[in-house]
């Protein structure tokens, strides 16, 4: 606890030393580092001012004001404390009737008519490769292909922004069949031919150097896809994904950022927004406009 007696017992040796001052201090620690006092009034001799300032600072106090005292006032002065306004006043209790209810998140609207997992790994759809085109020009680096698969005879429907799973042929080192890999769809829901019978992918063959042997390692599924020939069967699952879809608002702003084959879903977006719009209306035999 702060003791003001140490500051009032010093003898005065000069005219200035006989003067005393009234310190108004707040925030002094009392009985430990947590509890703090209210306002404290201290009488301090002139020749002890520097020491008392240091002492107050060590105890976490703050000097609010310093006022000179006459000798008569100083003789009868002792350290006084008075509670601060914050200690005398209590916060009014808020009425239960005025308490605002906790804000709750609005439930997300159900996303209807979004096809998901029509075909699963245990019962995949067997599609056929229609075309496998090289996208890298001669002399370019890497092997990047545009593949189109025939979906006729099945119920595989999808939306722009979804993915399909591809199950490559063969087994892993443990003799188990390879697991599926997901690939973003690069065509619109109507397919590249706009006949609702195809789905397209944009695939780059994965190749890297083995960290220990230095040998070139080819990705299992990407190599399988890049080596497909027209007419080959392909095990397809899905579609998958509900989040990365085009907004229903046709006037919404859309920002697309991607690198490499990550542009595959954006190809579908752009075709849906622009290329299909050019063919949305056609002239019928009688010169009337009709939707397709």
* Tens-binned pLDDT, residue by residue, of the chain (292 aa): 455 544 444 443 455 557 888 888 888 776 554 445 578 888 889 888 888 888 888 888 888 888 888 655 444 444 444 444 444 444 444 444 445 555 555 555 555 689 999 999 999 999 999 999 999 988 888 999 999 999 998 999 999 999 999 999 999 999 999 999 999 999 999 999 999 999 999 999 999 999 888 899 999 999 999 999 999 999 999 999 998 899 988 889 999 998 877 889 999 999 998 887 666 544 344 444 343 3
Tell whether 225 and 132 lie within a shared domain: yes
Q: Is residue 289 part of a domain?
A: no
DSSP 202-250: EEE--EEE-TTT--EEE-HHHHHHHT--TT-EEEEEEEE-SSS---S-T
Domain shared by 229 and 140, yes or no: yes
One domain for residues 34 and 167 = no
Q: Is residue 149 part of a domain?
A: yes
Question: Can you give the pLDDT at residue 217?
Answer: 92
33 and 176, same structural domain?
no
Please count the structural domains in the chain: 2
pLDDT of residue 262: 86
Question: Domain containing 238 — which CATH number?
Answer: 2.40.30.10
Per the CB < 8 A criterion, the answer to whether 267 and 146 are in contact is no
**What's the pLDDT at 7?**
43
pLDDT at 266: 93
Q: What are the C-alpha distances in Å from 244 to residues 172, 185, 198, 265?
A: 31, 11, 21, 9
Nearest C-alpha neighbor of 232 from the set 130, 153, 145: 130
pLDDT of residue 144: 94
Q: Let me know if residue 25 belongs to a domain.
A: yes
In-domain check, residue 143: yes
In this predicted structure, what is the pLDDT of residue 8? 43
pLDDT at residue 79, as a whole number: 45
What pLDDT score does 285 carry? 45
Can you tell me the distance from the alpha carbon of 183 to that of 160, in angstroms, rounded to the nearest whole number?
A: 12
Residue 159 belongs to some domain of the structure: yes
Assess if residue 80 is contained within a domain.
no
Is the Cα torsion angle 19, 24, 27, 28 positive or negative in sign? positive
* CATH code at position 38: 3.30.1490
Per the structure, the complete domain to which residue 232 belongs is given by 125-246+257-279
Which of 31, 53, 69 is the endpoint of a domain? 69
pLDDT score, position 269: 93
């Amino acid at each position: 606890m702060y003791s003001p007696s140490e500051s009032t017992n010093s003898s005065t040796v000069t005219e200035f030393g006989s003067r005393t001052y009234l310190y108004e201090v707040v925030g002094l620690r009392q009985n430990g580092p947590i509890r703090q006092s209210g306002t404290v009034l201290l009488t301090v001799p002139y020749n002890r001012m520097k020491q008392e300032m240091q002492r107050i600072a060590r105890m976490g106090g703050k000097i609010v004001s310093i006022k000179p005292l006459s000798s008569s006032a100083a003789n009868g002065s002792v350290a006084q404390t008075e509670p601060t306004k914050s200690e005398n006043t209590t916060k009014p209790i808020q009425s239960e009737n005025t308490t605002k209810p906790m804000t709750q998140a609005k439930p997300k609207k159900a996303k209807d008519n979004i096809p998901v997992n029509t075909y699963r790994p245990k019962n995949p759809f067997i599609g056929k490769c229609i075309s496998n085109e090289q996208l890298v020009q001669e002399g370019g680096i890497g092997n990047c292909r545009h593949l189109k698969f025939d979906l006729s005879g099945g119920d595989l429907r999808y939306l722009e922004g979804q993915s399909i799973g591809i199950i490559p042929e063969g087994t892993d080192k443990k003799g188990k069949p390879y697991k599926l890999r997901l690939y973003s769809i690069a065509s619109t829901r109507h397919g590249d031919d706009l006949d609702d019978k195809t789905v397209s992918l944009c695939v780059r063959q994965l190749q890297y150097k083995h960290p220990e042997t230095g040998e070139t390692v080819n990705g299992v599924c990407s190599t399988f896809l890049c080596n497909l020939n027209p007419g080959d069967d392909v095990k397809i699952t899905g579609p998958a994904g509900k989040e990365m879809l085009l907004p229903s608002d046709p006037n919404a702003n859309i920002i697309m950022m991607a690198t490499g084959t990550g542009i595959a879903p954006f190809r579908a977006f752009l075709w849906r927004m622009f290329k299909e719009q050019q063919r949305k209306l056609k002239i019928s035999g009688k010169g009337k406009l009709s939707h397709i």
